[in-house]
């Protein structure tokens, strides 16, 4: 809690409020993405260019309660029941950079486990 906003991963991830900078500030706690939104907003207020970036994190310190909470959200929202890995994204990029993809133009390829197909 070096920034004064307590890290709290058990927020309701089904509501947009969880990810709004103003909501995280008002609550005094938040999960990674909400805290990042707050930090980004604070930077922008001071004319510091900032944006949120995402990465896959492997955390052996994850609690069983958090794994169950994330698993429930994943089961509800993600048809494949799994997160997309960097290797899977890399495979798609490799395909698109190869001669095999010469005729793939003007389209969006979603690598999201079926999320956008819902």
- Sequence ranges of the domains in the chain: 6-117
What would the mean pLDDT of 101-116 be, rounded to a whole number?
84
What would the mean pLDDT of 95-108 be, rounded to a whole number?
90
Q: State the virtual CA torsion across 74, 69, 87, 107 in degrees, nearest 10.
A: 30
* DSSP classification of residue 31: -
pLDDT of residue 56: 61
pLDDT of residue 75: 67
Which pTM does this prediction carry?
A: 0.52
pLDDT of residue 1: 46
Pair of tokens at residue 5: 């906003």
What confidence tens digit (pLDDT) does each residue in 32-81 have?
889 999 999 999 999 999 988 776 665 556 677 777 777 777 767 778 87
């Amino acid at each position: 809690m070096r920034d004064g906003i307590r890290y709290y991963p058990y927020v309701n991830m089904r509501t947009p409020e969880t990810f709004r900078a103003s909501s995280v500030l008002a609550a005094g706690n938040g999960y990674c993405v909400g805290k990042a939104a707050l930090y980004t907003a604070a930077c922008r207020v001071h004319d510091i260019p900032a944006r949120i970036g995402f990465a896959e994190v492997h955390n052996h310190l994850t609690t069983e309660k958090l794994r169950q909470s994330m698993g429930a959200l994943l089961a509800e929202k993600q048809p494949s029941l799994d997160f997309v890995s960097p290797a899977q994204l890399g495979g798609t990029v490799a395909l698109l950079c190869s001669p095999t993809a010469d005729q793939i133009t003007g389209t969006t390829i979603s690598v999201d486990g079926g999320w956008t197909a819902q």
